[in-house]
Amino acid sequence: MNVMFKAVFALLTLLVVQVGVAQNVTVSGVVTDSDTGIPVPGVNVVQQGTPNGTSADFDGNYSITVPSNAVLVFSSLGFQDQMVSVNGRTTINVLLVPSAENLDEVVVTALGIKKETKALGYSLTEVKGEEVSNIKLPNAINALQGKVAGVNISQNATGAAGSSRVIIRGNSTMTGNNQPLYVVDGIPISNENSGSASLWGGNDGGDGISSINPDDIASVSVLKGGSASALYGSRGGNGVIIITTKQGKKQEGIGVEYNGSVLFNTYDSSILDFQTEYGQGILGRKPVTQTEAFDNATSSWGERLDGSSVVQWDGVERPYSYVGNNAETFYRTGATFTNTVSLTTGGEKMNMRFSASDLSNDDIVPNAGLNRKTFSLNANAMMAEKLSMQTNVKYIVQDVTNRPRLSDAPGNANFTVALLPANVDVSFMEPGANEDGTERQYSSNVFSQNPYWAAYNFSNQDKTNRIIASTNLRYDIIDWLYLSGRVGVDHWTRKSTSIEPWGTAYIPGGAMTEEERRYTQIDADLILGSQVNITDKLGFNGFVGANSNKIEFESLSLGGRDFIVPGLEDISNLATQTRSRGFNEREIGSLYGSLEFSYDSFLYLTYTGRNDWFSTLSLVGKDSPNNDFYSSINGSLILSDLFQMPAPISFLKLRGGYSETAGGAQDAYQLALTYEIFGQGHQGQPLGRINGSRVPNIGLVPWSKQEYEIGLDARFFNNRLSLDLAYYSNKTTDDIVNVTTSVTSIFLLQ
């Protein structure tokens, strides 16, 4: 023990000596381009191994205080990273070497095909996984906010388990959801919203894209225009977001990586500006009896607050004074803990990555939260000399407790907290239950809930099990010809229980609903492709393919009201019971292809076409609306390869395109009335009825969209500039053209 103590003491002494020796110094200098000698603005200057860093100003000047023995890392888009040892110096000027790889970077496009950015004749923005996972939000797609021009992301105020609405270049339709298609590792996935609030209340059931673990994301490609997404046919009419997850890599042994983060959320008191001068009451006077206070619980039309003693809803007299922000009193500090462990390995013919992640959230609404566990396995292997395989599997288990109710008052704690008068303290409403187990009402309006009763006695729980899996095989027939096959599945089951407890003021007997939803999407592609140089300057890259997409959805629901035994919250304990079942299936079959010609690596021209056949549309008539064709043509011209550019400009590209896309053919059973059995009638005989409230139209067709796009991409210094001008119109069945929007966006990325 004595020897160990001495060893530890010696180590600590050595550390103290080292700290004493490494005095801090302030290092400054100028960062310039090694080719042009021009200062480079915005360069990141970071002390290696620490978060200590700064950025160069517009003239390339920087200044940073670090230990005298530190190592500085200089990094900037378009340049190679450079590490410099300080060695006690106070002035360090750095020359950054341009990176040729950045000028010819490769991005993931439609159908998972990788292309050089200079070959793209349309607008595509790729966000690296590091930017998505830098701040680990419960819904990774929210990390794109502000990073992609022309993309608007709005979030419901429903906590970590809430859904997000993503709109690319504005709405395409008046009635559709207008959200993009999500593709993960080449496979389209469901972004089904499992519930939303209406005029009369409800809660946000969350969406599908939130299942993806941000630590597993390698890149996100946003296909904005029709030219980019036309290869997805009717499903890509609102744009496409392609998520590529991380793969294994060649290395010795097994690599272990751990990522952990904690994110705190608090109520933002600046959102609403509540008045604090007048108190509870009506007609400009205070309540004078408990009954008057009880009947006007949320009315703030009383006298000016004067500190006098006034009776409140519970018969207790309290000062007629401002009690502070009730929202800050009721809500708590929310916390989200994310922990991910990944293992990677790889050799000459195989690599693999496995990750396990746990996300635990306590929401700002009391008694609400989320737990999500994600397991991911990606494997690549050379099965034979010309045969390769890629497999991706993700398994997600998600448990959500007490999604907050929205909109109308029943069961909605937020409604009450927001409407309380300035002199009524919400904390006095706790606990929310009386001694007999019924709701402790603060208002004669039975639909206005005691917020603590809503938070701790109302209950909604849901658990989702989801698997997203795909396998891709590629066989290189000859050097310039390949055959590729891919099949994937997205399957999830969601079980939920919602309880309005016995003793609730507006439904004294209580109510309960249990529901199970099952969703399965199977997507398969077969592609024959070729990439060949026809001459020294003329190149060709093309493919033809076939796709099958089938979706099945089923829901089972059992519920009722009035618990027979108070407090026993079980379906069998309900006096009246109801049940329902929903089912739909739909399928799309497709043929598609792409032809791309390039000339001398500065001129690119691409044509794509896709034909979809829908199970949801009619087969009647010579011009059957069941059959739709979509096409696009786009091109790019690398001006910086044709002409000598001014020194600051390293890359300049002109691009443009035209496309025809469509959508709105996804809903099943819209062409005819359906019949349902919904209960029992006389002497137990089944009752049937026509289902639906709208007269169907057998001539329904998908909406179509024509889009013209022109753009300019440039790189100067370490900045990237993208200018997009897009015009598109929706064409109805009567060939009426409506101008939907015109978008001009400039995106500057450091």
Shared domain for 122 and 229, answered yes or no, is yes
Q: 223: closest CA among 367, 125, 88?
A: 125
What is the predicted pLDDT for the residue at 734?
38
User: Does 238 lie in the same domain as 128?
Assistant: yes
Q: How confident is the model at residue 718 (pLDDT cuts 50, 70, 90)?
A: low
Residue 171 is given by DSSP the state -
Confidence of residue 717 (pLDDT cuts 50, 70, 90): low
**Percentage helix, strand, coil for the chain under 3-state DSSP, each rounded to 5:** 15, 50, 35
Report helix, strand or coil for 32. Answer: strand
Domain end residue (candidates: 246, 274, 294): 246
CA distances for 358 relative to 136, 220, 343, 379, angstroms = 12, 22, 15, 22
* Cα–Cα distance, 187 to 487 (Å, whole number): 8
| Comparison of pLDDT for 161 and 356, the residue scoring more | 356
Stretch 120-144: mean pLDDT, rounded? 85
Convert the pLDDT of each residue in 306-347 to its tens digit: 999 999 999 999 999 999 999 999 999 999 999 999 999 988
Say if CB 206 and CB 400 are below 8 A apart.
yes
pLDDT at 22 over 60: no
**Do residues 110 and 237 share a domain?**
yes
Q: Cα separation of 339 and 702, whole Å?
A: 44
Looking at residue 106, its pLDDT comes to 79
CB 573 within 8 A of CB 563: yes
Q: Is residue 55 part of a domain?
A: yes
Containing domain of residue 133, as a range? 103-246
pLDDT tens, residue by residue, 722-747: 777 777 666 543 333 333 333 333 33
Please give the span between the terminal C-alpha atoms of the chain, in angstroms, as a whole number: 55
For residue 549, which amino acid is it? N
Residue in 97, 122, 118, 92 with CA at minimum distance from that of residue 106:
118
CATH of the domain at 158: 2.170.130.10
Instruction: Determine, yes or no, domain membership for 117.
Output: yes
CA distances from 590 to 152, 473, 524, 614 (A): 30, 20, 10, 9
At residue 443, the pLDDT reads 96
Nearest Cα residue to 301 out of 454, 130, 423: 423
pLDDT given at position 376: 97
Which has more confidence, 189 or 37? Answer: 189
Q: Are 289 and 311 in contact (CB under 8 A)?
A: yes
Q: Which of 110, 121, 144 is nearest to 724 (CA)?
A: 121
Q: Which of 679 and 590 is assigned the larger pLDDT?
A: 590
**pLDDT over 70 percentage in the chain:** 90
Q: What is the pLDDT of residues 165-179, one digit of tens each?
A: 898 877 777 666 788
Judge whether 182 lies within some domain.
yes
- What gap in Å lies between CA 465 and CA 394, rounded to an integer? 11
Same domain membership, residue 176 and residue 54: no
List 94's β-bridge partners, or say none.
31
pLDDT in tens, 632-691: 999 999 998 888 888 677 788 999 999 988 777 777 887 877 777 776 777 777 788 887
User: Which has more confidence, 34 or 513?
Assistant: 513
Same domain? 160 vs 191 = yes
The model's pTM is 0.82
What's the CA angle centered on 129, arms 126 and 132, to 5 degrees?
95
Mean of per-residue pLDDT scores for the chain: 86
State which amino acid sits at residue 650.
S
Q: CB atoms < 10 A from the CB of 335, how many?
A: 16
**What local confidence, expressed as pLDDT, does residue 175 receive?**
65
Tokens 């609405």 found at: 165
Q: Which residue has the higher pLDDT, 451 or 138?
A: 451
Q: Which of 138-142, 397-401, 570-574 has the lowest mean pLDDT?
A: 138-142
State the pLDDT at residue 730: 60
Strand pairing of 317-319 and 309-311? Answer: antiparallel
Task: Output the CA–CA distances (angstroms, integers) from residue 608 to 121, 174, 320, 546, 675, in the order listed.
Answer: 12, 27, 71, 14, 42
Closest among 183, 133, 109, 112 to 374, alpha carbons compared: 133
Looking at the structure, tell me whether residues 17 and 93 fall in a common domain: yes
Do residues 230 and 206 both lie within one domain? Answer: yes
Residue 166 included in any domain: yes
Mean pLDDT (whole number) for 370-399: 95
pLDDT band at 422; cut points 50, 70, 90: very high
Q: At residue 9, what are phi and psi to the nearest 5 degrees?
A: -60, -40
Where would I find the H helices in 283-399? 290-295, 326-330
pLDDT tens digits along 390-401: 999 999 999 999
For residue 431, is the peptide bond before it cis, meaning its omega torsion is within 30 degrees of 0?
A: yes
| Exposure letters 620-631 (e unless 16+ CB within 10 A, then b) | eeeeebbebebb
Using the predicted structure, report yes or no on whether residue 143 has a pLDDT greater than 70: yes
Kindly state the average pLDDT of the residues 142-151: 83
The Cα–Cα gap between 77 and 718 comes to 5
Mean pLDDT of 515-539: 95
Kindly state whether residue 415 falls inside one of the protein's structural domains. no
| Alpha-carbon gap, residue 450 to 410, rounded angstroms | 10
Contacts of 733 (CB under 8 A, 6+ apart): 699, 701
Same domain, 82 and 206: no
How many structural domains are present in the chain?
2
Does residue 109 lie within any of the structural domains? yes
Closest CA to 706 of 675, 680, 684, 729: 729
Q: Would you call 101 helix, strand, or coil by DSSP?
A: helix
Question: Binning pLDDT at 50, 70 and 90, where does residue 6 land?
Answer: very low
Same domain, 85 and 110: no
**Helix boundaries (H) for 260-334:** 290-295, 326-330
Classify 417 as helix, strand or coil: helix
**Residue 91 shares a structural domain with residue 114:** no
What is the average pLDDT across 132-161? 83
Percentage of the chain beyond pLDDT 90 is 52
Residue 181 in contact with residue 187, Cβ under 8 Å? no
Question: Has residue 383 got a pLDDT over 60?
Answer: yes
**Mean pLDDT to the nearest integer, 475-494:** 95
Instruction: Look at strands 574-599 and 603-614 and give their pairing.
Output: antiparallel
pLDDT of 733 reads 39
Check whether residue 136 and residue 241 sit in a common domain.
yes
pLDDT of residue 749 exceeding 60: no
Give the CATH number of the domain where residue 51 resides.
Answer: 2.60.40.1120
- Please give the pLDDT value at position 117: 82
Identity of the amino acid at 508: P
638 strand-pairing partners: 653
Tokens of 480: 């310039």
CA distance 625 to 401: 45
As given in the structure block, the two tokens for residue 451 are 């917020």
The residue among 468, 498, 487 whose CA lies nearest residue 397 is 468
CA atoms within 13 A on the CB side of 203: 28
Q: Does 215 map to a domain?
A: yes
CA 748/CA 750 separation, integer angstroms:
7
Least confident among 22-26, 254-258, 379-383: 22-26
Taking the C-alpha atoms of residue 39 and residue 488, their distance in angstroms, rounded to an integer, is 49
Report whether pLDDT(350) > 50: yes
Instruction: Indicate if 25 and 75 belong to the same structural domain.
Output: yes
Position 463: which residue type? Answer: K
Tell which of 79, 98, 117 closes a domain.
98
Instruction: State which H helix or E strand residue 514 sits in.
Output: strand 511-533
The residues facing 707 across adjacent strands are: 659, 728
Please name the helix (run of DSSP H) or strand (run of DSSP E) that holds residue 2, with its range, or none: helix 2-21
In which element (H, E) is residue 94 found? Answer: strand 94-96
Domain endpoint, select from 224, 246, 268? 246
What burial class does residue 595 get, using C-beta atoms within 10 Å of its C-beta: 0-12 exposed, 13-18 middle, 19+ buried?
middle
Residue 60 lies in a domain: yes
Q: Of 744, 575, 563, give the one whose Cα is nearest residue 150.
A: 744
